[in-house]
Amino acid sequence: METRVLAPGDEGIAAAAEAIRRKGTVAFPTETVYGLGADALSARAVARVFAAKERPRFDPVIVHVAEPSAVELLWTEVPPLAQELIDRFWPGPLTLVLPRRRRVPPIVTAGLPTVGVRMPAHPVALELIREAGRPIAAPSANRFGRLSPTHHEDVLDQLNGRVDVVIAGGPTPVGIESTVVSLVEDVPVVLRPGGTPLEALRECVPNLRMAPPSGPSASPGTLARHYVPATPLLLLERGPAPAGGEPVERRACGFLAYQEGWTGFGRVEVLSPSGDLVEAGARFFAALHRLDRAGLSAIVAEPLPEEGLGVAMMDRLRRAATGKAYVGEELVWRVR
């Protein structure tokens, strides 16, 4: 199929909305990452999203709305806590999971009795949903298990020829996927840390719990291996290397740094010279993409502070990592 790349102006958005109404697939920018969208109320349309991504059917998709009141179409009920979180955090990177109405096709929810919904804080996404006149189901616009795209060029790299439309909206401002919170049980559970910091959520929800890292109750997007670059990713450990490590030349490795001060690597990507986790979030996936494309033997990632957006970035790094790295003067020791 031929993929049309459209500018994010009125004309492009109108054509993209028309593609959605005709049950086509449209990659569009949100404040977090690019989504690959289709008519959320059409099983046939959503099936084409799964096919383009090669995504297994057990992974549910988030439904995007352009105004808070649209949740009434999707959820059987809007409990007071949901309303409170919506009032405070929408539009924004927060997905809420609640029991679904029957009109939401099972393919959207992977057969679950619940559906995740969010209202994105991006003018192009909101305009697209409004013009399409229906909620849009959209996972991140990457092949299954690969890095999430934070620029339309990353979308084209992975999905050119596999989707009907890509809206060329440039870089996405937040850069990390939404925080997913289930309100199905009495105690709210974070299924995936993301662009809405847990500290902010806890102000409204003091009894918020974290889901176990994986297992049946966890969110499918929390599969232990996920978000992987093609180049092996190693988490930096401090201190002397233990015996049994595999040596790799330092200049054959890339380095994902939080702040400056790392030299001798083939390529260094600094997430935030001033140590700002919001800035780091906006650059996170793009930096990983660049390192992944640089033809390196391995990528060494420095752990980030686990607060604010750092929690979500560390979650993605741990899932992507295939081992640990100890950095010496000229060599990096790779340990599984």
Residue 165: both structure tokens together: 């439309």
Binding to Mg ion (CB under 5 A): which residues in 136-165? 140
Which listed residue (3, 25, 114, 158) binds ligand TXA by CB under 6 A?
114
Whose CA is closest to 181, among 115, 98, 97, 82?
Answer: 97
CA distance between the termini of the chain: 41
Whose CA is closest to 227, among 336, 319, 95?
Answer: 319
3-class DSSP assignment, residue 8 = coil
* Residues 6 or more apart whose Cβ sits within 8 Å of residue 295: none
Stretch in the footprint of ligand TXA (CB under 6 A) among 8-16, 73-81, 220-228, 258-266:
220-228
Specify the residue, 140 or 179, whose C-beta has the smaller distance to Mg ion: 140
Q: What is the pattern of x (binds ligand TXA, CB under 6 A) and - over residues 181-200?
A: ----------xx--------
| Residue 30 lies near ligand TXA (rule: CB under 6 A) | yes
The burial class, CB within 10 Å (0-12 / 13-18 / 19+), for 123 is middle
| Residue 245 lies near ligand TXA (rule: CB under 6 A) | no
Return d(Cα 64, Cα 59) in angstroms, integer.
16
Helix (H) or strand (E) holding 44: helix 43-53
Question: In the complex, what is the shortest distance from the CB of residue 140 to Mg ion, in angstroms, rounded to a whole number?
Answer: 3
Question: In the complex, what is the shortest distance from the CB of residue 179 to ligand TXA, in angstroms, rounded to a whole number?
Answer: 8
Whose CA is closest to 301, among 288, 290, 311, 282?
Answer: 288
Binding to ligand TXA (CB under 6 A): which residues in 149-178? 177-178
Binding to ligand TXA (CB under 6 A): which residues in 251-310? none
| Residue 232 lies near ligand TXA (rule: CB under 6 A) | no
Q: What is the pattern of x (binds ligand TXA, CB under 6 A) and - over residues 77-106?
A: ----------------x-x-x---------
Stretch in the footprint of Mg ion (CB under 5 A) among 57-65, 114-122, 133-141, 239-247:
133-141
Return d(Cα 300, Cα 285) in angstroms, integer.
14
